[in-house]
Amino acid sequence: MGARREVVFFTPYASPLLSGSGSTGGAETQLVLLARALAARGRRVALTVLADPGSLRTIIDGVEIITLPRPPPNGGRAGLVAGLLRRVDADVFVQRAAGSYTGLVGLVARARRRRFVYSSASDLDFDATYLADDPTARRLFPVGIRCAQEIVVQTDVQAELCRVEWAREGTVIRSIAEPAEQRTATPGAFVWAGRMVSYKRPEAFVELASRVPEARFWMVGEAPAGIRALAAGHANLELLDPRARPQLAALLERAVAVVSTSDREGMPNVFLEAWARGVPALALSHDPDLIIERHGLGAVGGDSLGRLAQLTSAAWATRMDQDAIAARCRDYVAREHAADAVAACWERVLRLSRAPGA
């Protein structure tokens, strides 16, 4: 790309998203969207991905793609650091989501005397017990936070957690929502999509299906044996395999609402993707910065599955009359999560002061 990169985002697991071959987590999705938005504004941006050499194009949507070999399952982090130091440079390094990579990228940035910005992916990033089962991550993550000159958070709640838990000031920048046309398909099911891990409480969605037998439910993710056993016998619940974002978008086109049963999260990407299409959200408890209730973008069960079931039943009964809530959802996304506006906020945090592309 000639001149030195302005920003490099470390997105180790973004390969399926970049190739269009599968699903990725929300952290990777957000950084890829941000990189594209900055590139569209003329910035020199790169994504660093763990992937086989030659498996991805070197430029995608104006973003340089740097592939590094995957480290072996047990160890190999020293080789990864060496690869980063040898091949990757930019004015600013950015990494998102708590883990060992936070420390590795922060140390590489420090060794190169570059700025390092950490971006939170969830409220769990600020929970000292979150990485308790990974000794390496538990040791390296605080190192990375100490290396960070700036911390970017998704919500006002995370900004407060940053002050309380880390004694640091975080800058709130909203997540990006890709623009989408208002859906025209007939609403046919409630959609739950994500990793089936404990804090997302997938078993609650199965129970919700049993409490609202008149409605249909689609659960998208890699279902473990326990969830499959719970779901057996529920004729109105369909378990669907993980899928790439375009295929997930096709399901959202037919959603009555997206459903979150998580107790804690950040800003779920599935909320943004749904709202952009005019599809509301139903949450068991997690309502980031109370935006669902404040902006009328769906409903929240107050951590009561009984209450959520009532809300779900009501949404099913009125599923053919969603024009007003669809308009609110789309207006909110356009106002708060437009890619160009979010990218402009990031430019200020990244201190990209010279003219884009200069």
Q: What share of the chain is helix, strand, coil (3-state, %, to 5)?
A: 45, 15, 40
* In the chain, % of residues over pLDDT 90: 85
Q: What is the pLDDT of residues 292-308, one digit of tens each?
A: 999 999 999 999 999 99
Q: How far apart are CA 168 and CA 166, in angstroms?
A: 5
| Res 87: pLDDT | 82
pLDDT of residue 244: 85
Residue 80, pLDDT above cutoff 80: no
Report the candidate in 89, 96, 23, 13 with the shortest Cα–Cα distance to residue 51.
13
CATH topology match: 7-176+338-350 vs 189-336 = yes
Using CA atoms of 69, 71, 76, 78 in order, give the dihedral in degrees to the nearest 10.
Answer: 40
Please state, rounded to an integer, the average pLDDT across all residues of the chain.
Answer: 93
Which pLDDT does position 1 carry in this prediction?
Answer: 44
The CATH number corresponding to 7-176+338-350 among 2.30.40.10, 3.40.50.2000, 3.30.9.10, 3.10.620.30 equals 3.40.50.2000
Q: Does residue 240 register a pLDDT over 70?
A: yes
- Taking alpha carbons only, the member of 341, 165, 179, 157 closest to residue 264 is 157
Instruction: Summarize pLDDT for 109-152 with one digit per residue, the tens.
Output: 999 999 999 999 999 999 989 999 999 999 999 999 999 999 99
Angle between helix axes 339-350 and 26-40 (nearest 10 degrees) is: 90
Q: Model confidence over 2-41: pLDDT tens digits? A: 568 999 999 999 999 999 887 788 899 999 999 999 999 9
Burial of residue 289 (number of CB atoms within 10 Å: 0-12, 13-18, 19+): middle
* pLDDT value, residue 20: 84
Residue 212 main-chain phi, psi, to 5 deg: -125, 70
Domain ranges of the chain: 7-176+338-350, 189-336
pLDDT value of position 75: 61
Average pLDDT over residues 41-62: 93
**Of 351 and 70, which is predicted with more confidence?**
351
The whole-number pLDDT of residue 4 equals 81
Q: Is the pLDDT of residue 83 over 90?
A: no
CB neighbour list of residue 36: distance below 8 Å, 6 or more residues apart: 61, 62, 63, 339
Nearest Cα neighbor of 137 from 85, 199, 93, 95 is 95
Distance (Å, whole) CA 312 – CA 291? 19
Strand intervals (E) in 234-315: 237-240, 255-260, 281-283, 298-300
Report pLDDT for 69: 83
Which amino acid, 212?
A: V
Query: What CATH number belongs to 189-336?
Result: 3.40.50.2000
Bridge pairing between strands 255-260 and 217-220: unpaired
Dihedral of the alpha carbons of 36, 85, 24, 261, in degrees to the nearest 10: -100
Q: What are phi and psi of 282, to 5 degrees?
A: -115, 130
User: Is the CB of residue 208 less than 8 Å from the CB of residue 222?
Assistant: no
pLDDT at 189 (0 to 100): 98
φ/ψ of residue 335, rounded to 5: -80, -35
Q: What is the pLDDT of residue 358?
A: 47
Give per-residue pLDDT as tens, 157-215: 999 999 999 999 999 999 999 999 999 999 999 999 999 999 999 999 999 999 999 99
Spatial separation of the C-alpha atoms in residues 86 and 72, rounded to whole Å? 19
pLDDT in tens, 92-116: 999 999 999 999 999 999 999 999 9
Say yes or no to pLDDT of 320 above 70: yes
Alpha carbon distance 335, 176 (integer Å): 11
Task: Assess whether pLDDT exceeds 70 at residue 353.
Answer: no
